[in-house]
A and B are shown apart, each in its own frame.
Chain A
Amino acid sequence: MKMSEIASLLGARVLCCEELIEHEVHSACGSDMMSDVLAFVKDQAVLLTGLVNPQVIRTAEMMDMRCIVFVRNKIPSEEMIALAADAGIVVLASPMRMFEACGRLYNGGLKPQEVE
């Protein structure tokens, strides 16, 4: 699925790295616990989260993720957006709650991340 399709399925605004939005991604995960993302996620490309702090961006960067979706209208700070832009991570902001956002992407064909 293209990241642009993710944005339209989730009614999301693109907050950075719009130039990468036509790239394909295949898997996603949803979590507010960065500990769990670091420990259980593998080869996923998209992180959906309701947590807003710079560690969300750094966690995604360490894991080589390509896209972060902030759910529930959470808007990251300028500082966070700058970090994501520097890392080449597409940041989206959706008004949907976690359950619905994940459900729409799952229906749309994104796979769950592989769990070790």
Chain B
Amino acid sequence: MDNAAPLEFHFNVDGKDFTSAGEASVEVKKILRRIGLDSEAIRRVSIAMYEAEINMVIHAGGGEADVSVSPDKITLVMTDHGPGIADIELAMREGYSTAPDNIRSLGFGAGMGLPNIKRYTDELKIESEVGKGTKITMSVNI
């Protein structure tokens, strides 16, 4: 892949249907496997993207995911037009969650997603404006 332009993929994440949450991440994992990337890098990207995708569905009503694969890293940009995050530092704390009980009964809402994304990525940037939405940019070095 040296010298090649980055490969780019775009996904819409449906926010109305929880049962489909995670479909984009499954698709990206398949693509990265087909490209033949290192399996540990694929796993890190998969977990980070899946956490962000689930967040987008349960907290923000869906959004869009852009994936770019260059020779040295995989970059994910997850953009939504949900309620935004008022206090990003607080949201990054392990155990902090505003998820309602019905989300917990679906197996999510422990307040572990954002800290987990931090752990599995080499770069993480969260931009958010209350009432406007959230943009999460993350990358994993290959």
Contacts and interface: CB of A to CB of B under 8 A. Distances in A.
A55 B107 contact: yes
Interface in A57-92: 58-59, 61-64, 79, 83, 87
Interface residues of A, number: 23
A64 B43 contact: yes
Contacts of A34: 107-108
B22 A38 contact: no
Contacts of A63: 43, 46-47
A58 B19 CA distance: 10
Contacts, number: 73
Given A55-B22, A64-B43, A33 B110 contact: yes
Chain A binding surface SS class: helix
Nearest to B19: A54
A78 B116 CA distance: 31
Interface of B: 18-23, 25-26, 29, 39, 43, 46-47, 50-51, 54, 104, 106-113, 115-116, 119
Interface of A: 32-36, 38-40, 51, 53-56, 58-59, 61-64, 79, 83, 87, 116
